[in-house]
Chain A
Amino acid sequence: MSAHENIGEVLPLWSTIPFAGMLLSIALFPLLAPKFWHDHFGKVSAFWALLLSIPFLLVYREVALYELLHILLADYIPFIILLGSLYAVSGGILLRGTLRGTPAVNTAIIAVGTVLASWMGTTGAAMLLIRPFLRANAHRKNRTFMVVFFIFLVANIGGSLTPLGDPPLFLGFLRGVPFFWTFTILPHMAVAAAALLVVYFAMDTYFYKREGGAPPDDGVKQPLKIEGWYNLFFLLGIIGAVLVSGIAKWGEVSVLGVHRGLQDVVRDAALVLIALLSVIATPRTLREANEFTWFPMKEVALLFAGIFLTMVPPLKILQAGARGELAFLVETVREPYHYFWITGILSSFLDNAPTYLTFLNTAIGSFSPGLPEAEAIGLLIERHPLYLQAISVGAVFFGAATYIGNAPNFMVRSIAEESGTPMPSFFGYMIKYSVTILVPVFILVTVLFFMP
């Protein structure tokens, strides 16, 4: 089997309907029919995946089979393996001890989480810190804004610096963006994080004083302690495996007719092994104290199977640039700030990983239509890095703008609500926090980095 280089030029626009349906399902079902969605999201995902796959295979046969297998083997499986291994390893680290939720302590926790997020993934950092953060503030009356800022920074913006940080960046890495290239986003991240931390500290100080200041001292003070610290070595193993796979070139192997770099296959195997070792090495009681469950990871795996499969036609059409049915989009989005805002706004509502790939393909379709993807990405980085920065920053930062922008958002929300912290509704979150706090920060980032 081989790739059909021009399939994006012949695919009709309506072939993107399953993708749109999949993303709209993720956006609307949790809002309109949460119980139905909770019970049947796997079937919904399978429905859209089959709606695309069956006619696609019937019409394009070998080419369609190659494209579907390629996205599963080269993108989906590595993506899930990385998320799963980061989740398993970070779920084995337990922060114990007494933390008192003062403005300084809270700001410090969020700042630490922001730094950690790029190295253990936004999901990992969020899962590690959210429960200690909530426990530290259990006595506080106004806790909602704290969790919202936690989502902004730890579950999203903090993940900007490495492909481990946020799923979109890992997808970029899989397609040829160098591991350390994402460090070029450091200034953008530093500005956004600093601005948000200052706002957070001011808000927390205001509410802290209004609530009467110092937290009650119940006399029980346990020193801070990290249990399962050896998982930090497993984390280093994950970073090392991903890094090596980005540097080494060990030739290719054919898996079901899809050519994959041997270093990528070895990386995936190493990540699975590391996750297994973490599960074996970490006492079950420690994971239970972390309230660790595989359920959210299972959900992400099921949903993203549907997203990745249905994503094939839009990606191919966008790669065809002006010769594809989405030429109007390629021609409309021209400037870096266009890419930042359009990638960002769509990332807010359609999950940031597929949105990143969509606009990465828009950019390469615009600058290098018809070129093989890896080559086109290399040229984009060499000649137009600002565009890739705009796409990357837009996808990562705007994931914080809604609950559905990034997977860890819903996990943090769920844990906060379970522990009794009231969280705003979908629209309440957007209007009260995203529009008033995030959007001004994004305007600042635009003016500083993406305006001509």
Chain B
Amino acid sequence: MNIEKLLFPTQFKELAFDTLETLLALRRVGLREIVLSYIIPREEVAFVPFGGYLKEEEERLRNEARIRFEDWQRVLSSAGIASTIVIEVGDAVPRILAIAQRERVDLIVVGRKRLTMGESLFIGSHTMDILRRSPIPVLVHKYMVQFERSGETVSRVNDRIFERPLLATDWSGPSRKALEFILSLKGVAAKALVAHVIGSKLSKGLEQSELLRIERESKERLEQYCAMLREAGIDAEPHLSAGDEVRELLSLSREFDASMIVMGTTGKDRLHEFFLGSVSHRMAERSELPTLLVP
């Protein structure tokens, strides 16, 4: 799974350009083009009550976005990466998904939401919608985050995100594709952490012998994954844990200093997710690390 072309939608919030800069590391593993897109929310220019459409306002917003993007393009160009600009009016989520499909990108990179008082989630509803619906991988970038750790507020800057990716695998097809993504990071990733959590739901009620069998098989599989990574030139270490998947993965990512989390996702819809939950989506919401979900 090589990332040759990616889509970078932005609302020009603070640190958007810093986020973009961190992606330049992918140039060494084949990134050739970035599609820069800005979606003007329809509500900002359309349906003026008893009026009409704010054409001049749309033009102003388009020009502002174009000027900012052209400045970014100079940096991308000097790094040897081609870029195109797409500015459209509409609803963010369907537009982003449509642009991704039209432009045939390999990855969508979305930013985190602005944190407000009392929040512990790192992504907003638009990002979650994209995660649920995208048929292609999505990286939820979190360039600068603040989070609680041991009762203290900690700030973290995620600026070298591809150095120590943590692959959280459940052995599914999408997990396998997530592994392929990390395999493509040779030369960028210094070390990969491969983790599997034997979930409480699975282990509850199991006989000791059955649990031991699962543990043994999991270790073997983790070793197989690590061997594949080492063969591809990426150092790797396995981590097996048990308990609540999200809590354990968060804990592993912190203890072993991961730089990002990479997971497969089955793209559950809202109803399914409400009743059954989705580990990958909850990880994207709760981890302070950039999270790449591969459908």
The chain A residues found within 8 Å of chain B, CB to CB, are 26-27, 29-31, 34-35, 37-38, 41, 285, 288, 291, 293, 295-296, 299-300, 303, 351, 403-404, 407, 409-411, 413-415, 417-418, 423
Contacts and interface: CB of A to CB of B under 8 A. Distances in A.
B42 to A, nearest CB: 6
B89 A418 contact: yes
Interface string B77-104: 0000000000001110010000000000
B88 to A, nearest CB: 11
A25 to B, nearest CB: 9
Contact of B47 (A27, A31, A299, A403): A299
B256 interface: no
Interface of B: 42-43, 45-55, 57, 89-91, 94
A288 B129 CA distance: 13
Given A34-B54, A293-B91, A414-B48, 20 more contacts: A30-B50, A35-B57, A38-B51, A41-B49, A288-B94, A291-B90, A293-B47, A295-B43, A300-B49, A403-B51, A404-B50, A407-B50, A410-B47, A410-B48, A410-B49, A410-B50, A410-B51, A414-B53, A418-B89, A423-B52
Nearest to A42: B49
A295 B45 CA distance: 12
Contact of A30 (B51, B89, B91): B51
B47 A414 contact: yes
B50 to A, nearest CB: 4
Q: From A37, A296, A418, name the one whose CB has the most chain B CB atoms within 10 angstroms.
A: A418
B47 A351 contact: no
Nearest to A288: B94
A37 B48 contact: yes
Contact of A351 (B45, B50, B90, B94): B50
3 smallest beta-carbon distances between A and B, as pairs: A30-B51, A417-B53, A413-B52
A47 B43 CA distance: 22
A418 B46 contact: yes
B97 to A, nearest CB: 9
Contact of A38 (B49, B90, B94): B49
Nearest to A41: B49
A381 B49 CA distance: 34
Contacts of B50: 26-27, 30, 303, 351, 403-404, 407, 409-410
Nearest to B90: A291
Nearest to A31: B51
Contacts of B46: 295, 414-415, 418
Contacts of B48: 30, 34, 37-38, 410, 414
8 contacts: A30-B52, A31-B51, A34-B51, A37-B51, A293-B47, A295-B43, A414-B46, A414-B53
Contacts of A418: 42, 45-46, 53, 89
A295 to B, nearest CB: 5
A300 B47 CA distance: 10
Nearest to A289: B94
Contacts of B52: 30, 34, 403, 410, 413-414, 417, 423
A118 B46 CA distance: 26
A38 B105 CA distance: 36
Nearest to A407: B50
Contacts of B54: 34-35, 38
B43 A37 contact: no
Given A291-B91, A295-B43, A417 B51 contact: no
Nearest to B57: A35
Contacts of A41: 49
For A27, A34, A37, A291, the residue with the greatest tally of chain B CB atoms inside 10 Å of its CB is: A34
A207 B81 CA distance: 49
B42 A299 contact: no
A411 B47 contact: yes
A407 B45 CA distance: 17
B148 to A, nearest CB: 34
A29 B45 CA distance: 15
Contacts of B53: 413-414, 417-418
A108 B48 CA distance: 29
Contacts of B45: 418
Contacts of B57: 35
Contacts of A414: 46-48, 51-53
Contacts of A288: 91, 94
Contacts of A300: 49
Contacts of A413: 51-53
Contacts of A293: 42-43, 47, 91
Nearest to B98: A288
Contacts of A285: 94
A410 B91 CA distance: 19
A67 to B, nearest CB: 26
A30 B57 CA distance: 14
B18 to A, nearest CB: 30
Contacts of A409: 50
B216 to A, nearest CB: 44
Contacts of B90: 291
A415 B50 CA distance: 13
Nearest to A292: B91
A39 B47 CA distance: 11
Contacts of B89: 418
A299 B51 contact: no
Contact of B42 (A26, A27, A295, A407): A295
Contacts of A29: 51
A351 B46 CA distance: 20
A37 B42 contact: no
Given A288-B94, A291-B91, A295-B42, A417 B55 contact: yes
Contacts of B55: 417
A41 B48 CA distance: 9
Contacts of A411: 47
A151 to B, nearest CB: 11
A288 B49 CA distance: 21
A415 B52 CA distance: 8
A417 B42 CA distance: 12
Contacts of B51: 29-31, 34, 37-38, 403, 410, 413-414
Nearest to B44: A38
Nearest to B43: A295
A351 B52 CA distance: 15
Nearest to B42: A293
Name, among B51, B89, B94, the residue most crowded by chain A CB atoms within 10 Å (CB to CB): B51
B94 A37 contact: no
A154 to B, nearest CB: 17
Nearest to B50: A404
A422 to B, nearest CB: 9
Contact of B49 (A291, A299, A415, A417): A299
